[in-house]
Each structure stands twice: as C-alpha cells, then as structure tokens.
Structure 1
Amino acid sequence: MTTTPEATIADARERIDALDDRIIGLIQERMAVSSVVQRTRIASGGRRVHLAREMEILGRYRDALGRPGTSLAMTLLELSRGRI
C-alpha cells in the first residue's frame, strides 16, 4: 500500500500536534513543581532562585541538545521562575 505525500505529511503533523500537547502539559507541570520549590525555599529563609542549580539545568539541556538547548532551558527557567 502506497501513501501519498499529503497523507504522510498530515499524519506527521497530527503526531507533532499530539507531541506538542504533551510537551505543553509537561512544561505546565514543571512550572507548578518549580513554584513549590521556590515557595518552600523562601519560607525557609532561602532565595527564590538557586543559580548553581540553574547552571546545572542549562548544562543538561546544552549537553543533550547543543547550543539551542541552552536557549530552550533559559525559556523554561523563565517560565518556571519569572525574569530575574
């Protein structure tokens, strides 16, 4: 059975949309968990942001995804903690 290019593209786009929905859900979950960490850290007398931890996160994304991973990680950090 041969599929048309249009059908292949439509199927792939449907899969991309489903992946994007999952990614968005995971980002929202990450933001909620980060909020718990921040509130707990502040309540115990700490700072809202832990820069060493953020550097670990940046490194993890850079190592896994290359230079664009750093930008992605920065965006995730900004979403999770707001601008500093």
Structure 2
Amino acid sequence: MTVQLDSPGIASVDEASSTEAELGHMFDQLKALDAQILEVIKRRSELSQRIGAAAEAAAATREAQAEEMAVLNRFQELGADGSALAMTLLRLGRTRA
C-alpha cells in the first residue's frame, strides 16, 4: 500500500509549521487581550468603588442599585455566562469595608 503525501488529510511539514506559527500568533493575541481585559477590569473596579463610596456618602443607594441592574442587563446578550460575568464585575467593584 502506498500513501501519497499530498493526499487530503495528511499535512505536509510546511503546513504543520505554518499551522503552529498561526496558533502561536493567535495565542499571543489572546495573551495581549487578556492583559488589556485585566487592566480594564482593575480600572472599572476602582471607579466602581469610588462611585459606591460617593453614593453612600450622598445616600444615593437607589441610584446605585439601579445601575447594578443596568450592568446585569448590558451583559445579558452573553446569556448565563454574561450574568455570571456581570455579577463578578459587580462584586469586584463593591466597596471594601
């Protein structure tokens, strides 16, 4: 039995290295996005904590609660995972006592 190297389903060495290079590039992009996401989440948490402290000082708890519901609604398009993500963001942004 003879197998041709150019048969469908059998990757050549060049195709394999090209795929590995492409994967490496995509993983690098993910790492960069993760770093950006982490930085934005930190900024969001700090701002949310400042807002929470200001709302508490001004007795504006209803406004803060309404905004939390708006956060949940904004992430609704991601389904159940979006709700979980929104809840996590809200927890990260709550003022620490």
Aligned to 2:12: none
Aligned to 2:93: 80
**Whole-angstrom distance in 1 between the partners of 2:88 and 2:64:** 16
1:44 equivalent in alignment to 2:58: yes
**Whole-angstrom distance in 2 between the partners of 1:20 and 1:67:** 21
Match of 1:10 among 12, 17, 24: 24
The alignment's TM-score, normalised by the length of structure 2, stands at 0.72
The alignment's TM-score, normalised by the length of structure 1, stands at 0.82
**Whole-angstrom distance in 1 between the partners of 2:25 and 2:95:** 36
Deviation at 1:82, TM superposition (A): 6.0
> Aligned Cα RMSD in Å?
2.4
Match of 1:68 among 78, 81, 95: 81
Equivalent residue pairs, number: 82
Report the residue type matching 2:45 in the other structure: M
Report the residue type matching 1:68 in the other structure: D
Aligned to 1:24: 38
Q: Deviations over 1:44-65 (max 9, x none)?
A: 2344x832221111111012x2
**Whole-angstrom distance in 1 between the partners of 2:39 and 2:74:** 21
Q: Which runs of 4+ in 1 moved over 6 A?
A: none
SS at match of 1:40: helix
